[in-house]
Chain A
């Protein structure tokens, strides 16, 4: 599977990473190279093989459905690039 410029553009868009138009051909080529390397997986017969989901069969732990913390607004906002009046601030989302 080789990746063309349009696909590279679409992937960058989906990943929310700005890529200059001028850089798209090189990106497409790089991604194609890596995907080419992955093509080897098609040689493997995986008929009847379940995808691996855990290392050893282990029941996922359950925990009590209770509140264990809270009232830490200042801590939660302390690393925000822009926090105002107790909220995370972002550019206008709705016109």
Chain B
């Protein structure tokens, strides 16, 4: 067998159950691949001892015939997830040295299902960014390069380390989180699959909070089937998160029938942006043709409030962040600034937060503070929440008209170069989320599927948006798209 780390989760599961591959061998292959890929800066805290112990336990379970789908499957975990006794910094200096005394619900559920943790993955600081360039660990680097160029590209963000690690076969799958596109955009940039579930499908307990009404954890993997398998272990009600839904978790993998005959797929006209690259236009049209060929009906729809999604998001997310990040005060955990004689507690807060938070995080905290401050709450936050209702209503009406899924581009372009956006104004970077952010505001499930490459050989993805709580159905549409697109490109190894 060629190196085991290149397997999909489904392939590895079958080999593990057939006992032609051991969890220990598979884990070793991934640990070796990861240690040979330091140039990508994807893994920022390695946990080989934990991985080996979990792999040994998985082999024992496999031997006894108790082998859940993820038993012995090596995963990478985004640094935003609290993992007991393992650094969990949200890629921020303000959480330097923080080792949680508890385990996030999602990682606990993955471990209960037998998954193996290889280490923690790079990301944008507090998940605020679209390029992984705001990380305290430095940039994660995409395994992809433009044809004939060795310029370093972004793997996207904020789950950039997760995307780079999966695309480079350092792990079989990874956890991500998505507040405005942070699973789907990096998945699209690196040619992998990323699912943001319905808000409330996965527990947020133990995941460092960014914007609580938008944050949602989800799987990133090499195929739709792999993402469906991971989703089964990650989802479920958790009494520790009152916003997690008390709904049964269906068998997501069983939903992959490949049959979408008679389903109605909406193409929202508002997503046809002015100045959209021809390559993206073509990708989108090709994707619609693939679904039509599979027996679906393609319908033009309108989501009239789309253009207001980004400005509403950039009120709501910073407002919630300013509140959530107030907890980093240098008292209970993480960094505390060195003080000089005479400094009181206010100086301690102010110096600690100035030193501990990076520029983008500071910017968002201050915007959030401003829009929530006395006299502005109604004008900004309350208005944005009302616009959010209208954005959600647009989707509700489309689904009420019989639309089963909505097809859009995942990103406005392929991956850009690291550093290329440094001088751009912050709003230019925010535009990366233009196709994904509506889904978070409406709380819907969305999935990014790689369906093509651009003229420079870089992956491009399409997004499918589904009805609330119907991830199984959404995954099935994605499965059809994946099979039809037959995306097989892999980054040529340079690292």
Q: Which residues of A contact B (CB under 8 A)?
A: 3, 7-8, 11-12, 14-19, 27, 30-31, 33-35, 37-44, 46, 49-56, 58, 60-61, 63, 72, 75-76, 78-82, 88, 90-93
Contacts and interface: CB of A to CB of B under 8 A. Distances in A.
Contacts of A56: 200, 245, 443, 468-469
B370 interface: yes
Contacts of A88: 331-332
A12 B308 contact: no
A93 B331 CA distance: 13
B334 A44 contact: no
A41 B246 contact: no
B202 to A, nearest CB: 13
A44 B394 CA distance: 14
Interface in B338-364: 339, 343-351, 353-354, 357, 362-363
B456 interface: no
Nearest to A48: B386
Contacts of B371: 38
A60 B245 CA distance: 10
B346 to A, nearest CB: 7
Nearest to A82: B336
A42 B353 CA distance: 33
A9 to B, nearest CB: 11
A56 B180 CA distance: 19
Contact of B350 (A17, A63, A81): A17
Nearest to B97: A79
Given A79-B332, A79-B334, 16 more contacts: A15-B322, A15-B353, A16-B326, A16-B353, A18-B350, A30-B425, A31-B366, A33-B427, A41-B308, A50-B389, A54-B243, A60-B242, A80-B332, A90-B331, A90-B345, A91-B343
Nearest to B363: A30
A42 B468 CA distance: 29
Interface residues of B, number: 73
B380 interface: yes
A31 B315 CA distance: 12
Contacts of B351: 18
A79 B98 contact: yes
B386 A49 contact: yes
Nearest to B100: A79
Interface in B179-218: 198-200
A41 B333 contact: no
Contacts of B362: 15, 17
A30 B429 CA distance: 13
Contacts of B343: 91
B225 interface: no
B348 A38 contact: no
Interface in B359-389: 362-363, 365-367, 369-371, 373, 380, 382-389
Contacts of A44: 305, 308, 383, 386-387, 390
10 contacts: A3-B370, A8-B366, A11-B370, A15-B322, A16-B329, A18-B351, A44-B386, A44-B387, A81-B334, A93-B344
Nearest to B441: A52
Nearest to A53: B385
B357 A81 contact: no
Nearest to A55: B443
Contacts of B348: 90-91
Contact of B389 (A3, A51, A81): A51
